[in-house]
Amino acid sequence: MARNVAKAGFPLTVYNRSRSKADALAAEVGCAVAETPRAAAEAADVLISIVSDVPDVEQVYLTPGTGIVEAARAGLVCVDMGTVGPDCARRTAEAVAAKGAAFVDAPVSGGTVGAQQGTLSIMAGGTKDAFDRCVPVFEAMGKKIVHCGDVGQGQITKLANQIVVALNLEATCEGVLFALKSGANIDAVLDAVGAGAAGSWAWTNLGPKVAKHDFAPGFKVEHQIKDLRLALAAAESVGLELPGTRLVLGQFEEVLKRNPALAEQGTQALITALE
C-alpha cells in the first residue's frame, strides 16, 4: 500500500516496528524513514496506520513520547486502515481530536493481491471533510472507495464484510471437501460451480488452494479469528446473535487447537478442521 502511495507521487515518510521492512521500501521508492510513529506524524498531512489488532493501534497512537497523538495537531488527518472494531476507532478518534486533528477509520478488503495491485475496497468512517482530504491518497491504494458515515462506520462495514467472507469460506471448504471425498473430478467441480449461482470470490480464489492444501497466506488464520471475535462482540452490543459466524469462528479455533502452527497460514486452512 505504501509503495502504491509513493508511486502515485506523494512525498512519503514511513515507520515500521521492524525497521528492516521500512529500509527496504525506502531503498526501492526513495521515501524517508521515521524513527517513531510520532516522527512520521510530524512529517505528514495525512497519517496512515495499519497494524494488526487493538493493542497495536493503542501502541502506535498512545505511547508517551513516541505515539502519533504526541504530534497530532490541527490540519492533520489520521487514518487507521486496520480491522480493529468501532470502539477502538472511536477511542482513537477522541484522542487525536483532543489535539485538534481529524480521524478516519478506513479498513480495507482485497487481501495481499489487492494491496499489491492497488485494487482494494476501502470503507471509510469520519467527517465528509476529513474523508474528502484523504480520497486522493485512497485512490492510490484502492478502486472502490466508500464513505460509510461517521467514525466507526468503516469498521462496522468491514466487520459485515468479514462475516460474509468467513461464511463463504466455510461453504467453499465444505463443497470442496464433499467433492473430494465423493471421488469427483475436482477441477471440473471448481469450474462448473464457479460459473453458477454458488460462485463467489472465495470459491474462485481459494477453492483451488483448499483442494491442494495450499495454505500460503493471503489473509492469515490468526487475523480472521481476531476479526470474527470483533464481529461477534459488536453484534452482541446491538443485541444480535450471529450463529453462522460463531460456528465458523469455532471451526477456526479448532484449526489452531489441532495445529497451532497454522495461525500464520492462509484462512483456507479452515479445511483442516472439517477434515
Catalytic (active-site) positions: 158
Burial class from Cβ neighbours inside 10 Å (0-12, 13-18, 19+) for residue 121 reads: middle
Gap between the Cα atoms of 265 and 136, Å rounded: 33
In degrees, rounded to 5, the angle at the alpha carbon of residue 255 between the alpha carbons of residues 208 and 251 is 85
Q: How far apart are CA 162 and CA 58, in angstroms?
A: 22
Residue type, 184: A
Hey, how many other C-beta atoms are within 10 angstroms of the C-beta on 266? 21
How many H-runs (helices) and E-runs (strands) does the chain carry? 13, 8
Place of cell 494488526: 52
Nearest 5°: phi and psi at 9? 100, 5
CB 162 within 8 A of CB 227: yes
Distance (Å, whole) CA 147 – CA 160: 15
Contact 162, 234 (CB under 8 A): no
